[in-house]
Structure 1
Amino acid sequence: MAAPPRPELFDFYGVSMTKFFTDNWQNVKNFQAKPDDIVIATYPKSGTTWVCYLLDRLFFGKTHPEKDTSLPLYMRVPFLELCIPGHPKGKDLADQLTITPRLIKTHLPVQLVPDTFWEHNCKVVYVARNPKDVAVSHFHFSSMNSIHPAPGDWDGFLQRFMDGKMAYGAWHKHVVGWWEKKQTYPNLHYIFYEDLTENLGHEIDKLCSFLGMSPSAEEKESIMAAVKFDNMKDNKLTNFTNAPLMNLKVSPFMRKGKVGDWKNHFTVAQNERCDEHYKRHICFPGLEFRTEV
């Protein structure tokens, strides 16, 4: 199937979006959550696939090992709001999951998440990554993924990223909105990508404590090996080899997975502009982002 024309951004309840994330909105909004559902929420390019696979292995590595060799990760952890013509809708894939807990991925800002997740007190894992690496990753991702607007040149893209002229809106509003939710909703576990990179084992322990899980040392070791970036990049079921509308010849879906790659892209002036911008917008106790580890 030929790639559709690049979408236009439009305002959607105060958030920039494209049709590929809103065309099925009434069904997404009315999604019927279950109490044991687990939501993986992120701003795009913040470690979503990494944490989705980590959770999939934690829950089903022993009980359903066959899925790890037969079913792409995007089928195991559906992308709730995704709606691409000619392909299964994310909401429908989530409805069709038969094993529990259902793992469900979303990039929605907190105010747009379907109400039933909150009504059922579902557990939510939110992953946040520093804005400089997100911007660089998003730039390359947008180059190869035709469900996002074309990125244009790097400097223009960076400015639009800071201005929130991206699908899902401004990065700073997204991470702050979910951080504020965490203060009043105890079933939300907020993870920083940089912490995962620096000490994966420690972060898995914290995640297991939140989820009420106690994997054996052998299970944990197996999970840590499976979710290493290079192993996931080589795994056709996690690297989006067969995902629709991605041109992997332009850029791989899993590119580098490092903290600090922004240094290879930012000029001094761009870095200063970015620092000044986020200094104004990220000023909440405890919400701090590291741009290197």
Structure 2
Amino acid sequence: MSEEEKISMSDAIEKARDAIYRFPLIPIRGIPLMNHIANNWDSIWAFQPHPSDLLIATYPKAGTTWTQEIVDLLLHNGDAEICRRAPTIIRIPFLEIFSPPPIPSGIDLLKKMDPPRVIKTHLPLQLVPTGFWGNKCKVIYVARNAKDNMVSYYHFDRMNQTQPEPGPWDGYIHKFMRGELAWGSWYDHVKDYWEERDKKSILFLFYEDMKENPRREVERIMHYLDMSLSDDVINHIVELTSFKVMKENPMANYSFIAGPVFDHSISPFMRKGEVGDWANHFTPEQSKMFDEDYAKQMKGTDIPFRTQI
């Protein structure tokens, strides 16, 4: 990012202060979305991707930024400097976002970019613009076990001053179970992408697998993209996308979005990146209640989630 762009971003943050508030949720086809997304839904739904575009889809806080960085590095032969050309949200536009500055509109960014483009979304499968399926675009979906995903989303909702107020942890668990958070039900989100993965040629990844064996999963992504890179480059990408390195990378850790949007004093955007941190948040009673509800909501599915590795 050039000095001129940094100054422009700083000015945008200052101008945004009066426009920032916790956006209410408005249902679109039964899915609660923040009002700035819902109010621009027609233009999002009408988006026409190019067949060469790649979509990275996740439920919020399931490893999205991690996967974006891996893909960007793969596409640029592991060149760290090229991948520091701009923050993640500029390099890989967030399709449905229409926020006040400094977060740029995904649609506006995409209009300025030539294909092939890498695009991010949190939209559930039924809200993804149909052009992605009609044009047979490659789609990478990343899923994270429900308990860890909820913990991460809770802390994100605390620090992101544009997300709906999370309230106390005990109440947040019930919101999660009822699908009353932005982008809706985690359960429906993961089940729908899982059920359609073969029909739509979706590469379905698990956060826990990525933590357990990052090299293996980087290679899976590479092969899905019909690429072949040397072992040295792959090892370099694994190193550059470790949690420790990414947390210190200003182009990946969202530190460029500070107050009034992200309050990093409440929680950093990249907090822990662990599997099993849920055990530090759930009481035994909460865990039992959640597990019983999980069994009901996930009945009949065979998604092999792991809450420990």
Q: Normalising TM by the smaller chain, what interval?
A: over 0.9
TM-score (norm: length of structure 2): 0.90
2:229 partner amino acid: P
Aligned partners of 2:218, 2:252: CA distance in 1, in Å?
Answer: 19
Deviates further, 64-73 or 232-241:
64-73
**Paired position in structure 1 for 2:206:** 192
State the partner residue of 1:220. 234
- CA displacement at 1:205 relative to structure 2: 1.8
**Which residue number in structure 2 is paired with residue 232 of structure 1?**
246
**Consecutive aligned runs of 4 or more in structure 1 exceeding 6 Å deviation:** none
Q: Give distance in 2, aligned partners of 1:8 and 1:65.
A: 38
Separation (CA, whole Å) in 2 of partners of 1:209 and 1:128: 19
Residue pairs, 1:65-84, within 5 angstroms? 66-84=81-99
Alignment of 1:34-113 (within 5 A): 34-61=50-77, 66-87=81-102, 88-98=104-114, 100-113=115-128
User: 2 CA distance for matches of 1:61 and 1:249?
Assistant: 35
Output one character per residue of 1:134-174: Cα deviation in whole Å (capped at 9) or x when no partner.
11101110001022111110000111011100001110010
8 Å CA contact 1:172–1:282 kept in 2: the answer is yes
1:204 is matched with which residue: 207, 210, 218? 218
- Secondary structure (helix, strand or coil) at the match of 2:197 reads helix
Helix, strand or coil at the partner of 2:205: strand
The residue correspondences of 1:1-293 to structure 2 (distance < 5 A) are: 1-2=16-17, 4-61=20-77, 66-87=81-102, 88-98=104-114, 100-186=115-201, 188-243=202-257, 245-293=261-309
CA contact (8 A) 1:142 1:151 kept: yes
Q: CA deviation at 1:285?
A: 4.9
Counterpart-to-counterpart distance in 1, 2:20 and 2:197 = 38
Q: Deviations over 1:171-205 (max 9, x none)?
A: 0010011111113212x100000000001111122
Bigger shift: residues 201-210 or 28-37: 201-210
Across the aligned residues of Structure 1 and Structure 2, the Cα RMSD in angstroms comes to 1.5
**Contact in 2 for aligned 1:61/1:68 (Cα 8 Å):** no
Letter in 2 for 1:79: F
- Give the aligned residue type for 1:190: F
| AA of the residue aligned to 1:46 | A
Residue 284 (structure 1) shift = 4.4
Cα offset, 1:27, TM superposition: 1.4
Which stretches in structure 1 are left out of the alignment for 5+ residues? none
| Helix, strand or coil at the partner of 1:209 | helix
Contact conserved, 2:176 with 2:185, CA < 8 A, in 1?
A: yes
CA distance in 1, matches of 2:80, 2:159: 31
SS of the residue aligned with 1:183?
Answer: coil
How many equivalent pairs are there? 290
Secondary structure of the 2:198 match is helix
Which secondary structure state, in structure 2, belongs to the residue aligned with residue 17 of structure 1? strand
**Relative to structure 2, which stretch is displaced further, 237-246 or 39-48?**
237-246
Which is further off, 228-237 or 10-19? 10-19
Change (3 A) 1:286 1:213: farther
Cα offset, 1:24, TM superposition: 2.1
Secondary structure in 1 matching 2:307: coil
Q: What is the TM-score of this pair, normalised by structure 1?
A: 0.95
Q: 1:65 to 1:225 in 2, by over 3 A?
A: closer
Report the Cα distance in structure 1 between the residues aligned to 2:212 and 2:223, rounded to whole angstroms: 19
